[in-house]
Amino acid sequence: MADWITRTIGRLGYRTTQPTAITVRSRLTARGALLVMFAVSLVTCLIAAWLHANVIAGAGFVAAAILAPFYARRDALLHVVISAPALFLVAEILMQTLTAQGSSSRGSVMSVLEGTLLTLADVAPWLFAGTVICVAVAMMRGLPQCIRDLRAGLRGEPMGRTPARSDPRRGEVRGATPRR
């Protein structure tokens, strides 16, 4: 009995003397990462329109493009990389629609179209830099494996498993039945 108490107290004492470091990062699903990217893009586009400074919208896109692949799960990286510029476009169109000026429907449509095109032209360097950074962060986190899994899935192979290699020296051919 005393041996059990000594072991238990020893384990508890050992745990409390160790420094605790938080090493767990939250991992977002593809939908969560895309929602965060859209929300950050929309908020920064609205702030940029309010302050008449499109640099804020571009910086917001770059921030979202860095953080989304960093906090997304590895299997969601392909979705994040592909959708980043499209989400900014949707956020910009929504912002232009919310802040459009014009009394008729034709006037407001033209206002949305002109505002969207002018803002995209002004923010183009930020979009390019953010997309490149997004791809770079995703490459470091495992984007090539996501692409390999996609290709394997398109070929009809099970996900996450590499196919068995054939060995021509032993007379094995891929897809052939084994000799008996």
Q: CA-CA distance, 171 to 97, in Å (whole number)? A: 66
Nearest CA to 127 out of 28, 69, 58, 78 is that of 58
Q: CA 37 to CA 56: how far, in whole Å?
A: 15
CB 123 within 8 A of CB 57: yes
Q: What sign has the CA pseudo-torsion 144, 150, 156, 159?
A: positive
pTM as predicted = 0.70
pLDDT at 5: 57
Q: What is the pLDDT along the chain (180 residues), one digit of tens a residue?
A: 566 555 555 555 555 555 444 444 658 899 999 999 999 999 999 999 999 999 999 999 999 999 999 999 988 899 999 999 999 999 999 999 888 876 666 668 888 899 899 999 999 999 999 999 999 999 999 899 989 988 988 988 876 555 555 555 655 555 555 555
Termini Cα distance of the chain: 61
pLDDT tens track for 92-119: 999 998 888 766 666 688 888 998 999 9
